[in-house]
Every structure is written in structure tokens, then in C-alpha cells.
Structure 1
Amino acid sequence: MKLKFKHQDFQATAASAVVDVFKGQPNLVPSYIMDNESSQLNEEINFTGWCNQPLIPEMTSEIILKNIQEIQCNNYIPKSTELERCIVKNKEDGSNVEVSKINLTVEMETGVGKTYTYIKTMYELNKNYGWSKFVIVVPSIAIREGIHKSLQITQDHFAEEYGKKIRFFIYNSSNLTELDTFASSNTMHVMIINAQAFNANGKDARRIHMELDEFRSQKPIDIIAKTNPIVIIDEPQSVEGEKTMLGLAKFNPLMILRYSATHKKYYNMVYRLDAIDAYNQQLVKKITVKGITTVNDLTSGYVYLEEINLSASADPMATINFNTKGVNSVYKIRRKVGFGYNLYEHSKGLQEYNNNFIIKNIDGRDNSVEFVNGIKIYAGDVIGNTSAEQLRRIQIRETIKSHIEREMQLFNEGIKVLSLFFIDEVSNYKQYDKHGVALNGIYADIFEEEYSQMTANLKHTNPTYSEYLDSITAKNTHAGYFSIDKKGRLTNSKVNKEQSSDDIDAYDLIMKDKELLLDIDPNKSPVRFIFSHSALKEGWDNPNVFQICTLKHTTSEIRRRQEVGRGLRLCVNQNGERMDKSVLGEDIHKINVLTVIASESYEAFATSLQHEMAGSIRHRTKKVTKELFEKLNPALSKKIFDTLSQKKYIDKEGTLTDNYYDDRLKQSVKLEKNLEQYKDNIIEILDSTYLSETIKPENSAKNTVSLELDQRKLDMQEFKELWKLINKKSRYIVNFETEELIVKAIKELNEKLNVPKLRFFVETGTADKIKSIEDLANGTAIKKISSKNYSGNTVNQSIKYDLVGKLAERTGLTRNAVVKILKGIEREKFDQFKNNPENFIIESAKLINSQKAAVIVEHIEYDTQSESYSTNIFASASIKGNIDNTLPTIKHLYDYVLYDSNIEKNFASELDISEDVAVYVKLPSSFFITTPVGKYNPDWAIAFYEGSVKHIYFVAETKGSTSELDLRLREQLKTDCAKEHFKAVSNNKVKYGIVDSYKTLLDIIS
């Protein structure tokens, strides 16, 4: 198959944006140089060759800036106020080095043909101005190989349009013949070079700066500089460090062009096609996400070592994931830990860690953590996760299912469907015995089992497709694309600090097979499922990847957009034709759908992906100005702006208001009659603005209020009297018949005990169109459309549980009483222990405790203790709240009250305006009452003025309902105990009650 390329308007526009910057520069043939001038080291060099002509004197900085501003206006990009130059400080001597006077930025979303675009741009610059020497700088071998392949497969396409072919080569300091040709040729010529070739400290990197005997005692860097090349940086965010920029300055670039989807720095942006534009214009595949949530996951000593954190001034730390016990379930947490960290304690006593899971050593040399029990794990390792295999099996099954569904849809269209699996360890896919014989790893085995089962049970009516499936075995339809060691075995790719693999052989395999993989003929290419290392995050995009499955823990280093980016390109058919609008009309996303089967929950993956997309558009115009509408209609631009102000769609600063967003949501944006014809265009422009305040951390400092204690209120006599009555601690005594409780507990367990098995929820969501940036910022662009669940079994016979002891510990009963209860329950109920031991303990203890509480609350007595709470519990240094959940107050002990609900907010507001209330406080969580069913923290303490309705002190609990039937049993028991506590500590001088408003409180008082 030979891939075919089309002329696309957006790529032509991007190329023109660069070309038009130099409007006024004549088309000059390359300069021929016979040079005997001295080099930077004052040593003579002889250079004979061709170089790019410099800009003519008339092309001043002012002229270039004016051209750039005109281009930016046409492309709705904020105008540059000056010609932004790339200047780097040299730390060695403190000098400022100008890398290039002309710097231009082009932003293009992954999958839309960024490499094609800058190849076209090179042709256009040559056609318009005669420039012919180009250097492409790349951060990794992956990207280098991808560019080299793109130049190969587009040669004939561009030759048809421009009547010439570009010569190109990869720089190799050990073979400088190509560099000689590059300098001495007067044709279009491209050199591709890794940044490491001139910015690193290794032997090979230094050669570019050395006088080499095999290069006629010349320095390669000097020859490159003499050509005055145009430098193109692919993925500049990965290479724009000080060393790289200082190295590039020695290239003597005529200009630097930067191309990426995720720029960190912007220099004179002239074209933008970001994630939202590409998605909404259907230039990339539609994204569907399948996330998997594990419910009731109780595992055997589960530990995932994410990374080792080293510091020059402190002991090493480790970031780990492990289980912890909640009130009703067990869940995973992530912690940064150090020496002596005890997982048993921090898991709140999970039995699986009761075996010296205490960190003994953290070693940065081999990225490992060793526990006291002798277990040692390495970064990226997972141990003890009995549900992990089931999770991976479901991921693989869902990937095969999505693949088959897509394949049945596209088979008659002549479109081959590919699926890509990312894994961390090659051994999970391929292993070797002691004789070096290759064997399936666990993922390969699972794949073949699931694939065989699914295809055997497949029901469809296409005989040709049946024949196609029958011709491909489960073993032959998957392949691994990894590095190969010296023994010819597949091995893990080596990952550099940019988290890109630098193993050439892995990319050689993928690049050589790029077109072959697209061939639907099973005799030529039976491979449809590709397993690859997670380091393959850039540099390889096959247009027919329709499913991406991440069989690994998602970490911060590998971003979700990078994973998704491997499959965003629009697909091609067997004729090599891209399936875009020219072929499919407006139904592009009917065929072009990328399904991501994530290793985390749907919410986690979808939300993070959207936030990453939202974060990528921070360069957009932040304010609405009349200049935004000049391209639409210069004569009406001011009228449009004034109308938006009059309609209160923008404020004085030019920021979009809630009025606009409300009307936009209702599709009822109102404009003047003479502007109605431009309405859709105006909305498109407004939606392109980026309101930076909408994309921010949930607990940003800007939205945080610190609560300050009012010392005057603390010193009020009314508060002192209140505090004297309620600050005493108490203890309770209960006398009840154990046999009565045993009978009730058995009955309760037989009726209500239900221990859930492990379940996996597979939830699917998709985004038809991203309507606004706020949709991404709020995580609502991708909408959930379906869900289903699988059940599993978490029993692990290797863990020995002290069931009786654990229940005795959680219920406070004797072991003898617990044994009687367990013996009394039905066998069917007791057998649920095998399903999920920890959940059995949690659920059983909860039911026993509910009956215990019901029995003992009738017999409870509180005694006052000598110990009491200090007013220090009201220290305000660390009390903070979100501005959306705080209320400024007058009579509260603090200047703000932090509320949890509208009921609390309204109650505090009513207290604040009451003339009878002297002072009140929302009690801190450190103030609690001990009860048989756990600690209880009342909500409010209130002191009334003497001589008011009644001079009393009141402690309140605010609830949405005051009906005892509406309160949960556990909460009701706590409040019953609280009544007895306050009677005891205050000698009946403090009233306690459950209220839903200030009016209810007054009813209780009266």
C-alpha cells in the first residue's frame, strides 16, 4: 500500500502564515560562498558551498512585526506587541546570547499532519524566497525516525506540486559525507538532527564541535553555520533548555520555526490549530473513553511503587499506593512515605499488611523499596493485587470487543482496524525459558484466550468477514513492538529523562511496517493487535489505530493526551486514501472513532484528559476586544464590541460574563438586527476566548478564606459561661444483657448481611463536539453514555484472618460472644466470608454494632470527668475554607462561618441577625463526645443574652429533617447519647436538640 496525501486548506493556511511574515523579501537564488574567513577559534577553514540568502536591509524588525500582527489578526491570535526574540543567559559567563532574531510559533494538535505542514512550509519558503537549507531539530529518536519516514513517503506527492524533491538525511557525526553534500548542494536540502548531538556531554555529541581529520580538519558546526539554515524545532517544549538553545545559536539560523501541540513558550505565534479546533473541525478522530472502576477490591498485600523521590538535603522518600480501610469499604490511597512507614497502621489495621510491611530501606540506586518482611519491589512494580489480573483481562476483553465491533462496521469499506496496547514490562507479553525459547507472557495468554472465545461466539451475517476471521489465528493476529537485546530477545525500552525511548530498533520495526500494518490482506499482514512499551508516547502514529488500551498504572510522567495522540489521525482505506470530509462528507466521526480503554475509572481518565486539553489552550485570547472582529467586518468591529457591552455579555475588562454563558447555554444570544447575519461567527469568536479563571485548581489560594478568631467574643461573659458548662469530658457506663444482644445480632445478620463480591464497572463516555472551553474546564465535554459490570472473586487462601478477634475488636464484645453469634447465623451467610473477608468483617461488625447500640442506649449513663477541653481548640491559624462555602458573620466566634449545607448556611444567617443571640460557634471537629457507636461532634454551641427569651445555653445539631424516622439509626443513637452527656456535664443547664432552623430552636426553648 502507498499512502496518498491531499491538499488541505488548514495546512496551506499554516504554511502561508509563515511565508507571509516575510512579505517584501525578494526571491533570491542561494548564495555561493568561497570562504577563507576564520572560524570562532581564529583558525582558517575553507568552505565552498551554498547558503540561504539573508533578509534584505529593507526587511526591518518593524516591517516583520507589522506582517506578523496582520497574520495574527486574520487567525484570531493575540497580537505580539514586539518582535519576540529568543535570548538565553549563558550561566558560565553571565552573558545574554541571542539564538535567533526571527522566531515563529505554529501550534498544531497531534494527529492533524504537523510534519506534513512544515514540509509544505519548506517548499513554500523555497518557492517564494529561494531559501533551500533547512535543519530539523528533534528531542528523541522516535520523532527523528517519524520525520525521516514522512519525508520519504511524501516525496512524490510534493514533487507533483512543486516540480522538485527535497534531499534529506539524518546527521551522524561518524559519517559526515552527507553534511558535505548538504553544504555543497544548491538544491533543497534537509538535515535532521537530535538535540543530544550538540547539547550533551558525551563523546559523540562533542564531535560536532571538534576539528575532525576525516572532515578535512573542519568542525561540523562551522559548516552548518555557514549555510545560514532555517531551523525547525519539532516538539520544542522538550528541547528548549539552556544547553540546546546555546548550541542552536552556533547554527547561525536565519530563523527558528517551532511546531508542537503543547508549547511551553510562545514566540510570535502565527498559526493555531489547537485541540478544540481540531476536534470540532473533525480533523481528528472522535474520542470515546471506557473506564473501569474496581468495587469492593480487597487484595493480598497490594502495594504499587510509583517512584523514588531523591533529595540532596533529606532522606529518600517513596511514592506508593496501597489499601486502607474506610467505614464501609476498602479503597486505594497514594502516599509519599519514608523509613519506618508501617502499612498495617496506615491501612487502619488491614490484615493483609499484618506481616511486617514496614519500610526498611529506600534505595535510589536501583529504585527499590524493601520491607522488614524481606519483600523488595522496584519502581513500577505491583505486588499482591489479586484483582489486577481480572482487571487486565476485562481491559483486554473490552478492547477486543470494541475492535471487532469497529471491524465489522468498516470491513466492507476496505479499512483495516488496528488496536494498540501500552504495557510497562515486556515480560508481561513475552518471556524466555532457560534455553532462550520464547513463551507467551500473561497478557499474550489472556489475549489469545479472550480473542478465541469472542470470535467463536461471534454472530454476524457477513460471510466474507467470517472467512477473514477464520484465516487469522489468535496467535498470529497480535505482535510485540519492542527493543531487541544482543541475544535477539524482546526487552524493555530505555527511557530518557523526557520519558521517550531512545532504542532505535524498536522504531525501525514500527517504521518499516507502517504501510504493511495497514494492509487488510491476512496473507500479507495478519497483525491487528499491537503490544508496545509505554515509552512509545510520540513519534509513531498509525492512522488506523482505533483502540488504545493502557495495561499499566497511569503515572504523572505519561500524559493522557500523549497516549490518546497515538490514535487521533483519521484512518485510511486500502487505496491509501484518508477518510476525511472529501470522502465522507459530514459523517467523518461515524467512521473515525478512537476508543481508549483506560486502566482507571472513567471519571478519573475522562476528567484528567479534558483538563489537559483545557490547559493546552492557555495562549488563547483572554479578553474580548474590538480587534477580534476586524477580520469579520472592519467597519462593524466597534459596533459588535459596543453591542456586547450593552447586552452585558462582557464587562469593562472585556471578560465574558455569566449573562453570556447563560444565554449561550440556552441558545438565546441576542444581538442588534444588523448584526444577526454575523451571529454564528461572533459566537465562534467569543467561544475561542480563554477565560483563565475557569481552569484552576479546586482549592486555589484565590478562592480560599482563612478564618480568624475574634478574641473579644471569646472573652464575652456569655461565652465563658457557655464554655464552662460544655467543655467537660465524660465517660459512659452501660449495663445490658449479653444474651439479648446475641439473639438480636444473629437475627440482624441473617436478615441483612450481604457481602458484595468484587465488581468491575465499565463505563463509556464520548464527546460529539466540544461546545466551549468551559465544558473542558468543568469536565463535561465527554459525556457518559453507558455502563455495565462484571463480578469476580477476591478470596485468597494464603491470608489467615483472625475473624473472631477482628469482630471482637470492632464491636467491643468478648470473643465468646462473637463465637456464639457466628455459630448462630445461617451457613449461607457465613459462607460469604470466602467472597471478601475484609468486607465480611466490616459488614458484620456494622450490623452487630447497630443492634448493640440499640440495646445499650436504653441503659447508658454518663459521668463527668475532671479532664476538659481548652479554648485552644479554637486556634484559627490553620482553619481555611473555600469562599463558596463560607459566610461572613457578626456574632460567630470567627469572622466567617464554614458551612457544609444550605441548612447550616441559613441557620447561621438567622443566628447572626437575632437580637437574642449573644455569641455562637460552629464547633471544631476536635470537640467530640464519646459514644458506644463512635465519636460524635455536635454542630453548634449558642449563648443567649441574659434577660432574652430565656437565658439558656444551647447545643444544636442541624439536620434537614427533625423526624427521628428520617435520621439514620447510627446518627440517632449518637444524638441520644449526646442528650445524656450534656445533662451530666451541665447539671441540666444546657439544652441539646436537633434543629432544621432557628424557628425550630425557639420552639424547643419555649
Structure 2
Amino acid sequence: MKFKFDSDQEYQVDAVESVVGLFDGQAFVRNQLTMPTRATFQVVPNRLDLTPDQLLANLQKVQGNRGLDQDDKLETLAAKVETLRGEEDITFPNFSVEMETGTGKTYVYIRTALRLFETYGLRKFIIVVPSVAVREGVKKTLEVTKTHFDKLFGKPPYHFTVYDSARKSQASGFALSDGIEIMVMTIDAFKRAETVIRQSREGLDPPIYQLQETRPVLILDEPQNMESDLSVSAIASLNPICALRYSATHRNAYNVVYRLTPFDAYRQGLVKRIEVASVVQQDNENLPFVRVEELNATKRTVSAKLSVHKLMATGKIQEKPITVRSGDSLVEKTGRAEYEGFVVDEINPGSGFIRFANSQELAIGGEQGSDRDAIFEAQIAFTIEEHFRRQRRLKEHGIKVLSLFFIDKVDNYAPDDGKLKLMFVKAFDEIKQRYDEWKDVKADDVQKSYFATKTKKTGETEVLDSTGKTKQDDEAFNLIMREKERLLSFEEPVAFIFSHSALREGWDNPNVFQICTMREVGSDTERRQQVGRGVRLPVNQDGDRIRDEQINVLTVIASETYERFVVALQSEIEREYGKEGVPPPPPNQRKRKTIKLRKHFLLKPEFKELWEKIKHKTRYSVQIDTAKLVADTVVELDEATISKPRITVSKANIRVDQAEDFFEPIVLSGAKTAVDLAGRYPLPNLFEVMESMMENTSPPMRLSRRTLLEVFQKTAKRCEATENPHEFAITAVNILKAKLADQMVNGIKYEKDGTWYEQTHFADEIQTWEDYLVPSEEIAGVGGTHLYDGVKWDSPTIEKPFAESLEKMVNVKLYIKLPHWFTIDTPIGRYNPDWAIVMDDPENDEERLYLVRETKGSLDLNDLRPDERRKIICGRKHFGEALSTSYQVVKVAEELPDGGV
């Protein structure tokens, strides 16, 4: 099987011609053998006759044609470099091509080199790569495209080689050749002074001098990994006429000449569509959960951003981000006693870890508290099953399916008893029984790994977490990196590949359809790079690209929710492309507005009388029937669903909004239980957990342990309590607090406590947004009756029209949108009523009505949230019984007495 290539893909041609256009006006350079001054060698060099101003004009023209922002200067890099003539200042322009992973970046820059020779006679090219893995991928592409380019360009005289320091004549051959020379080098091969290429040998000049004198065109592959000062200096040491920078994830995009964003590639069907299978824990707060999102250092502070399971005021436990510094306690930050011992001991951004007083240490991206092994089991099983299903569907199309696993630690797989290897074998042997075509296949035959190795002094071979910069050349490396065609053949049984980090860049295979990410994402771009290993369009057994969108789908099996995956993927793209790749946030059109207190209103008799009626504070008393509380709680608790802790899998397709550059998940399947976790965890002191929840949720409440014990003894859910104690505690406490609140509210009694609110609490001015304001203005003798010259409303459908109506009512003499500090104590928290109104009594022209009104969307209290309903009941008793003031719930102003006037 041989790969086939399409020379007519418009986006690739555009990328090539954008670079060719940079040199418009350059005369064709014939081969010319020269001997540099003081040299012991000859070279056939490149030559660039264009001035910087001409290059800049060409750059701007190309950018204009491609719809890119036009730069006002050439982006150059410079360094002092040792040359034949001594130390020189070398400066060279840089041009960037941004192409999404999987769209043929390597093909494009090889074709670009051939076009530059065809058009201008440029013939010396050095491809600089950051790692051995990338180097081997480039070499492979050069090999498999040779026949294609020979046909496309009429067999041009081009030769490619991979730099080898042991080949003494390699630099000389590159320099002397009058054909097209393409040399592939890792940055490490010439970065440091002690490298062979920089050394004199047998009285001859260092080989790098020969490369310098050819004035090569540099092609930088994945240049974001070559941004250090040492790397820049090394690149300058090649004395290039320019550097062409190719990446999907540039760190610095110098003079961009072509851009194919992830969204462009996705919309045009140039890469596989992505779907995410989320493998996550649900209903499991039995272990203290911590995930390290960020480690930050400023001149004054060191902090960490963590995700934790926080006890919310509502009684629910939710995953929330928090920021911590040294000495912070997670018990205090979360309101949960389960985090006892999690006090921040050290935050070390340099080394990338946070350590707690209980000796727990987590690296950035790491987490604890989730049942990682159970998640791994579910991920592996889902990946195998998905692989089997997809291979069955695609076999008739001649497509071999591959699955790629990014694992957390090599030690979890490499040994014979590595837990991930054992999990894979167990799942494979179980699942294959349901697929006849796999029943006789052995798990050992279908899996390979790519890990770096080191030979110890004892002769033992140690397997290491991969770096991608080793020179290891074992069987797996050959198969995965150099023999892509063999791996795509049905005759080759290997279909499941395990790696650590070396495959982040430099390796991809078009037929990867499943990527299982069992390691934490630790950098801004690693998620895109991991996904990038599988987005290339697949090929069949004849080497033909498949362009069927129903086939071209990559499934990422991730240990996070698809919402989190999509948000993070989007964020990585935003960090890279900024305004040019994603839509900018909508501009804030709102304007600040100040509303002012009408101080003279405080002197009006209407205000004084109203204030005298409503200003008084009260205290309340309640009565509790414990037997009824327990009985009512048990009835509802017995009917409640208390889910078992479990690992679930759900799937969502990721699509790009057609109007805007934005990823959004479209749910394909609901959560299905993959692993049951019931009974795996030690039973905590259930009553301590329930007491803590009672006291640390809003409003805090206390019950005796005897009452809690009685609920436990009488409920039919005792089995569920042992299977998922925290879920039982949350459910029971929420029911207890609701029943307790109902009892307290229904029997509450208020009385004045002898204190009151002072009118001096009214602020002279209130800041708000102009579009959150109803002006209070007198027009034709009506309106202008609010205590302030405007009303700051909270609801556009209820409060705003209510205020607008009050401003139009002639019988309203004064009204107040009661401020946030005007509250009433209730057993379920403080209550801030909406409105206080003074209006004419329609039945007695000489009298005034002094009213307190709550505005809601429904007059039926059963339609309201429980706490809203309870607070309204308290409001009625506070105002009606203790203060003898009319209090009601209304929807619209027309429900006020004679509200139609």
C-alpha cells in the first residue's frame, strides 16, 4: 500500500503560493560555484537580491490578498554568530504559515521549496525540527512524496538527507550540489558549541561554515519549541536568507502570510470531525477531590488555582474553582470536613507542583480524589468496544482502524504486571467474545508501545516517560514512526498503540479513529496537540484519501466532561489566535448612570408616615414538632432516588457554529453507567457529615444527633447509605431542612424588638447601568414620585414594567424600591421585600394607603421556589401581624387599589 497525494487541494496551493509571492521580483538565480573568502571549500549558494523594503511590500500584498492584517515592518531575528570572517551580526526575516494539524503542513513546505526553486532558483533548504520524532515524520513524508513531486514538477533535481554528524562529507555535499538540497536537522544537532557540526577537524573549517555560506532558506517545523535565546542563536548560526515557520500552534506568529484556522479546517472537511466520549465520576463525593488547574507566581504572591468539591449554600456539592495560597485550608475553602489535612504547605510554579500538610503532592494538571483506576478501566473498555464497532463498519471501505492511548505513567503499562496493560488484556478478552472477527485474536498481538529507553550500567533496559528527543530505534519505533504503510495494512495485527508524551508532535497516522487520553493535560496547547494526532483524513488499502464525513470522525475518550473538554479546547485556540481566530466578545454598550436621592422627599409627611410604619425590626419565635419532622422526612426520603457512585460514559459531537468561530458540543448519548463504585469506600461518621451539612449550608440549622439517628433508623434507604454515604447525607439533609423550614415558617410569630432602621442608611447616590434604570420624572403633573430620581430594577419582565406603571399613576404619591439593606430576619435567611408605596385611598379622598408589595410572576405561592414562598409567608406575618401594615404579592401595578387611575 502506498500513500497517494492530491496536488489540486486549493488550500495547500494557496499556502504554497503565499510564500512564493514573498519573493516577487527576484530574478532567477542560476547555479554558480563560488569560493568564500578565507574558505577551504566551495559552495553553490542561494542569493536574494530583494531589499527589505521590497520584501515588506511583497509581504503586505500577500497579506492583503489573503485577508490578513498587514504588518508595517519585517519581523527579524538577530544574533552574534561565529563565521568564516569572525564574529558577525546575523539578521534574517521570518514568515509564518499557520495550518491546522492534519492538513498537510509538511507536504506544503516541501512543495513550497520546490516551487521556490522552479520560480527563483533557490536551491538550498534546511528543515529544522525540535525532536527526533518530528525529524522521522518529516523524513517519512519526503520519502513517500518523492514520486508525487517528480511527476508534479517534471523530475526536478532534488535530493534530501537527514543530518548525521558521523557523515563527515555531508555538509560539503550539501554545499557543492547544484541541484535542490533539502537537509533535515534537529535543533539539538547544532544548538550548542560542543556539537560536532561546530568543531574543526583535521585543520578544516567547521562544517557549519559550509552551511552558512549557502545562505539557506530555513524551514522551521513546530517553531514554538525553538523559541529560547539559545535556539534563536542556533538558528541564526545557519546564516539564512529567511526563515519560513510552519505550525498549527505558533507561540510567536512572525509576519503571517497564510492562515488556515482550526475552524476553517473543520468547516471545509479537511480534518476529521471530533466527538468526545466523557468518562467521569457521578454522585461520588466520598473522597476529597482536588485538581490542580494553574500555578501562578507574581513579584509578591504565589498562588494556585484548584478545582474542588465545594459545599454550596443550597446544600449541593459542586465542582468549583478556588484560588489558594500558602497556609490556606481546603476545609475552610470548601465547607467540608472531608478535606481535613489539606492545608497548603508549598506552591512551586517552577517545579510545577503543590504540596499539602498531609504530604499529598500534585503536579499541574494532576488530580486526586477521583477513582482513577475505575476511570481507566472504563476508558480502556469503551475504546476497545468503539474500535471493534468502527472496524466492523469500515472494513468494507478498506480502512484499518487504529486506537491511540496517551497514558499517565510508563510504569503503569511497560512492566508485565503494569496495571494498564492488565486492564487492556482483561477488557479485550471480555469484549472480543461479542465480535466473531476478534474472538481468535490475542491481546498481546494487537498492542504496541512507544517509550524511550535507557540502558543501565548493569545492562538492563529501563523504560522511561518519553521525551521525543531520544535516538532509540526499537521495533515499535520502526513500526510507528517509519512504517506507516505497514501499520495501515490488515496483515499487520497491531491496532492499539500506547504512548506517553513523545507523540505530542511529529507523529500522526491518518487512520487513528480513537484517542484515549489517560493523562492530565499539562500545557496550554497539549490538548490540541493530542487531538491533532488523529485528525488527519483516513486512507484505504489503496492509499486513497477518504472524504466521507460520515466516516471521518475522531472519538476522543476523555476523563472529563465534554463541556469542560470543549471549553478548554476553545480556550487554547483563543490563546493562540486571539481576535483573528475567534469572535471578539461583544462590546459593552452599557453606560454607567448615577441616580440621586431626593432628600426633600425625606421631609414629606407621606414618607415620614410610611417610614414610621415599616422601619421597625422584629424578632421571631417558632415551634418544632420533632416527631412530625422525622415522620415527614422519612416519607419523602424513602421516595427519593439515591444514585450509586459510578463511572459514566456520555458522548457529544463537537461542531463549529456556522456563523461564528466557536466550538459547541451536541449531545449524542446520555450518561451510561460503565463501572459501579458502590461499596468501594470506607463508611464515614454519617452523623458528623450530616451535622456539618446542616450547619454549613444556607441557612445554617442544627438538629440533635438523636433526631438524625431516628431518621436513619426509620428510613428504608439504609442500604443506599452504606453504598453512597455522601449522596445519602446530602439527600437526607436537604429534605430535613425543607421540612424544618416549613414547620418554622408556618408557625412563626413576629414581635417588635425595639430597634429600627434609620433613614440615614439611604445613600445619597446609587451607581447602576443606564439600561437597568427607569427614570423617575414628573411629566404633566404625573410621575417623579420615587425616592430617587430613577429606579434600579432587577427584573426586566416584572420590576421594570411595575416601576414604569407607578410613574404613570396619578394616585401614587411616593414609592420606594426598598434597598438591599432593608431586610427581615426569617428562619431561612434574610428577606428583602420589593416595594413600599404611598397612594390615595380610593374610598376616602382624605386618607392615604401605606403599602408593602412583593412583585412576582405568579400569585399562586405554589408556583414559586420553596424559599421564595417561605419568605413571603414570613413577610405577611412581619408586616401584617407585627407592624399592622398592608402586605401583598402582586404581578402588575393594576392590582393596586384603584390601580387603573
Q: TM-score range by the shorter chain?
A: 0.7 to 0.9
Question: Bigger shift: 329-338 or 150-159?
Answer: 150-159
Matches within 5 A, 1:607-1006: 607-610=567-570, 694-696=583-585, 702=588, 708=594, 710-712=596-598, 716-717=602-603, 730-750=618-638, 752-760=639-647, 762-766=649-653, 770=656, 772-774=658-660, 776-777=661-662, 779-780=663-664, 782-790=665-673, 792-803=676-687, 806-807=690-691, 810=694, 811-825=701-715, 828-865=716-753, 886-887=772-773, 889-890=775-776, 891=786, 897=792, 899=794, 902-911=797-806, 916=812, 918=814, 920-921=816-817, 923-924=819-820, 928-932=823-827, 934-938=828-832, 940-944=834-838, 951=848, 954-983=851-880, 987-989=883-885, 991-1001=886-896
In structure 2, the CA distance between the partners of 1:332 and 1:445, relative to structure 1 (3 Å rule), is farther
Q: 1:690-748: per-residue Cα shift (whole Å, max 9, x none)?
A: 8x7x433xxx8836766756355698457787677656654422134333333333334
Residue 540 (str. 1) matches residue 541 (str. 2):
no
Distance 2:330 2:544 in 1: 54
Residue 85 (str. 1) matches residue 51 (str. 2):
no
Matches within 5 A, 1:429-578: 429-431=413-415, 438-441=416-419, 443-458=420-435, 466-467=436-437, 469-486=438-455, 487-494=460-467, 501-505=468-472, 509-510=476-477, 512-514=479-481, 516=483, 518-519=485-486, 525-534=492-501, 536-555=503-522, 557-575=524-542, 577-578=543-544
Distance 2:188 2:888 in 1: 72
The residue aligned with 2:310 is 324
Per the TM alignment, residue 489 of structure 1 is displaced from its structure 2 partner at its CA by 3.0
Per the TM alignment, residue 379 of structure 1 is displaced from its structure 2 partner at its CA by 4.3
Question: Bigger shift: 910-919 or 179-188?
Answer: 910-919
Which one of 339, 343, 347 corresponds to residue 330 of structure 2?
A: 343
- Secondary structure at 1:214's aligned position in 2? coil
Question: Bigger shift: 519-528 or 786-795?
Answer: 519-528
- Secondary structure at 1:309's aligned position in 2? strand
Distance 1:97 1:875 in 2: 67
In structure 2, the CA distance between the partners of 1:239 and 1:796, relative to structure 1 (3 Å rule), is same
On the 8 A contact 1:807/1:841 being kept in 2, the answer is no
Residue 107 (str. 1) matches residue 98 (str. 2):
yes
Distance 2:17 2:210 in 1: 30
The residue aligned with 1:15 is 16
- Secondary structure at 1:399's aligned position in 2? helix
- Aligned residue identity for 1:324: K
On the 8 A contact 2:43/2:176 being kept in 1, the answer is yes
On the 8 A contact 1:145/1:511 being kept in 2, the answer is no
In structure 2, the CA distance between the partners of 1:889 and 1:249, relative to structure 1 (3 Å rule), is farther
In structure 2, the CA distance between the partners of 1:607 and 1:941, relative to structure 1 (3 Å rule), is same
Which one of 392, 395, 416 corresponds to residue 379 of structure 2?
A: 395
Q: CA RMSD in A?
A: 4.1
Residue 155 (str. 1) matches residue 146 (str. 2):
yes
Which one of 246, 253, 256 corresponds to residue 259 of structure 1?
A: 246
The residue aligned with 1:34 is 35
The residue aligned with 1:121 is 112
The residue aligned with 2:394 is 410
Distance 2:98 2:392 in 1: 36
On the 8 A contact 2:818/2:834 being kept in 1, the answer is yes
Matches within 5 A, 1:222-371: 222-240=209-227, 244-245=231-232, 248-263=235-250, 269-292=256-279, 294-306=281-293, 308-314=295-301, 316-326=302-312, 327-349=314-336, 351-353=337-339, 355-363=340-348, 367-371=352-356
Q: 1:539-564: per-residue Cα shift (whole Å, max 9, x none)?
A: 11111101112223445534433222
On the 8 A contact 1:318/1:338 being kept in 2, the answer is yes
Per the TM alignment, residue 417 of structure 1 is displaced from its structure 2 partner at its CA by 0.5
On the 8 A contact 1:733/1:860 being kept in 2, the answer is yes
* TM-score normalised by L of structure 2: 0.84
Which one of 132, 137, 140 corresponds to residue 146 of structure 1?
A: 137
Per the TM alignment, residue 801 of structure 1 is displaced from its structure 2 partner at its CA by 1.6
Distance 1:928 1:568 in 2: 58
Distance 2:403 2:75 in 1: 42
Per the TM alignment, residue 572 of structure 1 is displaced from its structure 2 partner at its CA by 1.8
In structure 2, the CA distance between the partners of 1:484 and 1:89, relative to structure 1 (3 Å rule), is closer
- Aligned residue identity for 2:398: G
Distance 2:406 2:599 in 1: 61
- Aligned residue identity for 1:606: V
Distance 2:180 2:612 in 1: 90
The residue aligned with 1:372 is 357
Distance 1:504 1:866 in 2: 85
The residue aligned with 1:134 is 125
Q: 1:747-775: per-residue Cα shift (whole Å, max 9, x none)?
A: 3433x33322235554333367x56242x
The residue aligned with 1:651 is none
On the 8 A contact 2:291/2:366 being kept in 1, the answer is yes
On the 8 A contact 2:400/2:488 being kept in 1, the answer is no
In structure 2, the CA distance between the partners of 1:519 and 1:802, relative to structure 1 (3 Å rule), is same
- Secondary structure at 1:935's aligned position in 2? coil
Per the TM alignment, residue 268 of structure 1 is displaced from its structure 2 partner at its CA by 5.4
- Secondary structure at 1:485's aligned position in 2? strand
Per the TM alignment, residue 944 of structure 1 is displaced from its structure 2 partner at its CA by 4.0
On the 8 A contact 1:746/1:821 being kept in 2, the answer is yes
Per the TM alignment, residue 240 of structure 1 is displaced from its structure 2 partner at its CA by 4.9
Distance 1:727 1:244 in 2: 73
- Aligned residue identity for 1:99: T
Percent sequence identity is 30
Distance 2:669 2:512 in 1: 23
Q: 1:123-172: per-residue Cα shift (whole Å, max 9, x none)?
A: 12112222111122334444333223322333343334442464334456
In structure 2, the CA distance between the partners of 1:819 and 1:267, relative to structure 1 (3 Å rule), is closer
Distance 1:879 1:428 in 2: 58
Q: 1:418-440: per-residue Cα shift (whole Å, max 9, x none)?
A: 01122222233334xxxxxx322
On the 8 A contact 1:710/1:895 being kept in 2, the answer is yes
On the 8 A contact 1:893/1:921 being kept in 2, the answer is no
* TM-score normalised by L of structure 1: 0.76
- Secondary structure at 1:439's aligned position in 2? coil
- Secondary structure at 1:228's aligned position in 2? coil
On the 8 A contact 2:787/2:814 being kept in 1, the answer is no
- Secondary structure at 2:35's aligned position in 1? strand
- Secondary structure at 1:819's aligned position in 2? helix
Per the TM alignment, residue 51 of structure 1 is displaced from its structure 2 partner at its CA by 0.4
On the 8 A contact 2:135/2:185 being kept in 1, the answer is yes
- Secondary structure at 2:417's aligned position in 1? strand
- Equivalent pairs counted in the alignment come to 866
Per the TM alignment, residue 114 of structure 1 is displaced from its structure 2 partner at its CA by 0.8
Per the TM alignment, residue 845 of structure 1 is displaced from its structure 2 partner at its CA by 1.9
On the 8 A contact 2:596/2:766 being kept in 1, the answer is no
In structure 2, the CA distance between the partners of 1:521 and 1:4, relative to structure 1 (3 Å rule), is closer
The residue aligned with 2:781 is none
Per the TM alignment, residue 977 of structure 1 is displaced from its structure 2 partner at its CA by 1.7
Question: Bigger shift: 14-23 or 107-116?
Answer: 14-23
Per the TM alignment, residue 122 of structure 1 is displaced from its structure 2 partner at its CA by 0.8
Distance 2:210 2:787 in 1: 76
Per the TM alignment, residue 246 of structure 1 is displaced from its structure 2 partner at its CA by 5.7
On the 8 A contact 1:471/1:522 being kept in 2, the answer is no
